[in-house]
Structure 1
Amino acid sequence: MTSKNKQHAKTDRLITIITGWIAGIIMVVLAIWGLLTLRTLYIYEETNDAQVEEYINPVTTRVTGYITKISYEENQDVKKGDTLLVIDNNEFKLQQQEAGAALSNAEAQVPVLESNVNTVSKSAEALQAQIASSKARLWKQEQEYARYQKLFDVESATQQQLENVKTALDVAKADYQSAIDNYAAAISRIQDIKAQKAVALTEIQRRQAMLGRNNLDVTYTVIIAPYNGKMGRRTIQEGQVVQAGQTLAFIVNQSAGKWVTANFKETQVSKMHIGQKAEIETDAFPGKIFTGSVESFSPATGSRFSLLPPDNASGNFVKIVQRIPVRIKLAGPVAETVLLRAGMNATVSIKK
C-alpha cells in the first residue's frame, strides 16, 4: 500500500470516528429531549392557545358638541378622576339658566296662590257673617208678614200694605239665598286655588327634574377617567363634533388586574380544579416564567360563544376536539405583571 493510500485510509477512519461521535451525541440529545418531553407530557397539561387579557373599555360621550380640549396623549397613564377631554358647554349652560329661571317662576307662583287662599278665606268669613245678617232680616220680614197677614184678615190692613210687606219678604229671602250662594262660591274658589297650588307644586318638581337634567348635561361635557388605567390610540382632535353615545377612546383598566385565558382541549381539563397553580411563559419574554392560579372555567366551549355556533345535527358529522376557555389569575409582583400587555400570546402549563 502506497503512502497516499495509507493517508486516505487514515482520513476515512477519522471521518468515521467523528461521524460516529456526532451521531452518538445527536442520539443522546434526542433521547434526553424525548425523555423531558415525555416527562412534561406526563406531569403537565400544556397549551400554547392562550392570551393575556385585561379589561379594555370604551370612553363614550353622553352629549353632543364640539371638543374644546383634549388632556391626554396616546398610551398615557391616567388616574381615576383625571380630565380626559372637554366638550363646549355654552349651549348646555344656557339651557341650565333657562331651566333655573323656569323653576324660580314656578316657585314664585306658590306664595301668590297662598295669598289668594288667605284673601278668599277672609272674604268667605265676611260672607258667612252676611249670611247671619240676611237670615236675621229674613226672620224679621217673616214675622212682619205674618203680623200684616193677620191684620189683613181682620180688615185692619190694606191689600197694598200686605203686598209691600210680601215684597220686602221676597227681597229678604233673595238676599239670604244670595249670601248662601256667595259663601259657597267663595269656598269653591278656595278649593280651586288649592288645586292650582297642587298643580304648581307638581310643576316645581318637574322643573327641578329638568334643572337636574341640565346640570347633569353640563357635567357630562367634562369626561373624566373612570379608574386608573392607560389610554389607547387617540383618534379625535380639538374642534371635532361628537355625537351622544360616540366612542371617543379606549382605556385599559389597570386597577382590575390581568389574567390569562388559556384554551385547553376538552380532554385536558378533567383533572383541573379552581385554585390549581399554573405557569405562564409568553412569547414576548421567553424563558421568564409567570405564576398564576386557575380562577374559573368557561360554562361552555369557545365555539358555543361564536357568532354562528356549529350544529352537529345538520349535515355530515366530523368530531372535532373542542376547547374550554380557562381563566387564570396572574400572581406575583406587580412589577413583573406590568410587563404583560393584553393580547400577548402565552404558553400555559398546569400540573396534572
Structure 2
Amino acid sequence: METKTEALPAPPTVRAAPPQPRNRRRPWRLVALLVILLAIIGAALYYWFFMRPYESTDDAFIDADVVQIAPQVPGHVATLLVRDNQGVKQGELLLEIDPRDYDAGLAQAQASLLAAQTRLEQARAQVNADQAKVEQAQANRTAAQTEAERAQADLKRYQSIPKPAVSRTQFDLATAQARSNDAAVEAARSAIAAAQAQVTLSQAAIQTAAADVERNKAAVREAEIELSYTKVAAPIDGFVTHRTVQAGDYVQTGQALLALVPSNPWVIANFKETQLTQMHPGQPVTVHVDAYPNHAFHAHVDSIQRGSGARFSLLPPENATGNYVKVVQRVPVKILFDDPPDPNLPLGPGISVEPKVRVLDEPRK
C-alpha cells in the first residue's frame, strides 16, 4: 500500500514595514510661529516707541481771534474797498459811509461853540464893567465921606460959637447940610454893595458861559468822532471773510458787515481727561491737517483749560438729579504753531486737524 505524503504549506513571507514618511509640515509651522513671534515683537516695539509716548485725538480744529467788523454810525455805504478773501493790513480802509450828514453836524457844533465863546467874552466884559461901577461907587463914597466930615466940622464950629453970634438960620442950614452929607455917605455905601452884587452875578454868568463853551467843545469832539466813524478801517492784519455788505446798502450801528481772520491761528484739541496725565505746556506737537495730508506742522502745547468743555457749554450737564452715567469728559487744549504761517497752506477757523502730543520726552515737573 502506497503512502502519500501531503506537502505542508510554506510559511507566509513576513514583509518589512515601510519607513514612515517625515512630517513635512513641521518647518512651515516653525516659520509661521517665527513670523507671528516677530510680528508680536514688532508690534510691541512699535507701540513702545511710536504710540506710548504720544497722545492724539481727531476731535481738534483750527481756531483764531476772528474780528467782526461793524459800523459805529448808521448810513449808506458810499464806497466798498475790499472783496471776499482779500488780505488787508491794519489801518487799511475797508469801506466808507456817506459823510454828508456828519459833516453838517460837525459844522453846526462848531457854530454853536463859536456862539458860546462869544457869550463867554461878553460875560467877561460885563464883569469888567461892573467892577468899574464898584470903583466909581467907592469913589463917590469917598467924596461923600469928605463932604460929610466937612459938614460935621462946620456944625461943631457953629455949636461952639455963642448964639448971639450965629443966626438960627445959619445953624439950621449947617445941621441940615450935615445930615444930608451923612445920608449921601449911606447911599454911596449902598451903591457899592449893589455894584459888588452885580459883579458876583456877572462872575456866575462867566462860569455858566464857560460851562456852555466846554459843552459845545464836547459836542464838536463828538461830531468829529462820528465823522471819523464813517471811514471803517481794519483793526488788525487779516483776510476778509463772510462779507455781507454791498456798496449802497444802508447799515445800522453794530450791524455785522464782514469778518477779519488773522494769519496766526492755533489749534483747539479736545483730549479725553484720561489723556492729560502726562500732558503739560511746552511739549512738542505734530499737527496733521486734513486739508494737507502730505504736510506735518510743528507746534507745542500752550495751555490746558481749567475745566471740561461741557462745563462751559450753553446748557451744562446737571448730574445732581436722575440716574448718573459716568462719561469720559473732554478738555480743550490750546496748541500754538512753531513755524510762521505759510501763505501756500492757508489755515482757517473750523478746519479739522489731528494733533499728536509727545508726552514722555521728559518727566513732568
1:192 positional shift = 2.1
Q: Secondary structure at the match of 1:349?
A: strand
After alignment, is 225-234 or 162-171 more displaced?
A: 162-171
Say if 2:331 is the partner of 1:321: no
Report the equivalent of 1:245: 254
Q: Secondary structure at the match of 1:287?
A: strand
Alpha-carbon spacing, 1:49–1:29, altered in 2? closer, same or farther (3 Å):
farther
Q: Which residue of 2 aligns with 1:20?
A: none
Residues 5-51 of structure 1: CA deviation (Å, up to 9, x unaligned): xxxxxxxxxxxxxxxxxx99x98999799658745432311110000
Q: Shift in Å at residue 324 of structure 1?
A: 0.9
Give the whole-Å Cα distance in 1 for the aligned partners of 2:37 and 2:83.
56
Distance in 2, matches of 1:132 and 1:124, equals 12
Q: Paired residue for 1:230?
A: 239
Amino acid in the other structure paired with 2:272: K
Residue 144 in 1 paired to residue 154 in 2? yes
In structure 2, the residue matched to 1:9 is none
TM-superposed deviation, 1:343: 0.8
Residue 313 of structure 2 is matched in structure 1 by 306
| Structure 1 residues 206-234: Cα deviation after superposition (integer angstroms, max 9, x where no partner) | 21111111100000000001111100122
Q: Measure, in 2, the Cα distance between the counterparts of 1:238 and 1:94.
A: 22
Which of 27, 34, 56 lines up with 1:46 in the alignment?
Answer: 56
Pairwise mapping of residues 164-313 of structure 1 onto structure 2 (< 5 A)? 164-254=173-263, 257-313=264-320
Deviates more, 1:102-111 or 1:28-37: 28-37
Unmatched tracts of structure 1, length 5 or more = 1-22
Alpha-carbon displacement from aligned partner over 1:183-221 (angstroms, at most 9, x marks no partner): 222222222222222222222222111111110000000
- Maintained 8 Å contact 1:292/1:331: yes
Q: Is 2:272–2:329's contact at 8 Å kept on the other side of the alignment?
A: yes
Instruction: Indicate yes or no: 2:126 matched with 1:116.
Output: yes
1:133 to 119, 133, 143: 143
Give the 3 Å change call, closer, same or farther, for CA 97–35 of structure 1 in structure 2. Answer: same
* Cα contact 2:261–2:348 (8 A) shared by 1: no
What is the Cα deviation at residue 150 of structure 1? 5.2
Identical-pair percentage: 30
8 A contact 1:235–1:249 mirrored in 2: yes
Match of 1:13 in 2: none
8 Å Cα contact 1:53/1:342 also seen in 2: yes
SS in 1 for 2:268: strand
Counterpart among 338, 350, 355 of residue 343 in structure 1: 350
Quick check: 1:330–1:337 contact (8 Å CA) kept in 2? no
CA RMSD of aligned residues (A): 2.7
Are positions 1:83 and 2:93 aligned together?
Answer: yes
Larger CA Rg, structure 1 vs 2:
2
- 2:27 maps to none
* Stretch deviating more after TM superposition (237-246 or 225-234): 237-246
1:72-104 alpha-carbon deviations (Å, 9 max, x no partner) = 111111111111111111111111111111111
Q: How many angstroms does 1:163 deviate by?
A: 3.7
TM-score (norm 2): 0.82
Q: Which amino acid aligns with 1:335?
A: D
In structure 1, distance between residues paired with 2:188 and 2:38: 122
Structure 1 length as normaliser, TM-score? 0.85
Distance, in Å, in 2 between the alignment partners of 1:228 and 1:336 is 14
Instruction: Give, in whole Å, the separation in 1 of the partners of 2:321 and 2:178.
Output: 103
Q: Per-residue CA shift, 1:128-170, capped at 9, x if unaligned? A: 221111011111222233344456x836555554443333222
Q: Runs of 5+ in structure 2 lacking a partner? A: 1-31, 360-365
Greater displacement, 199-208 / 312-321: 199-208
2:297 partner SS: strand
Give, as a single letter, the amino acid of the residue that structure 1 aligns with 2:181.
Answer: A
Residue 275 of structure 2 aligns to a residue whose secondary structure is coil
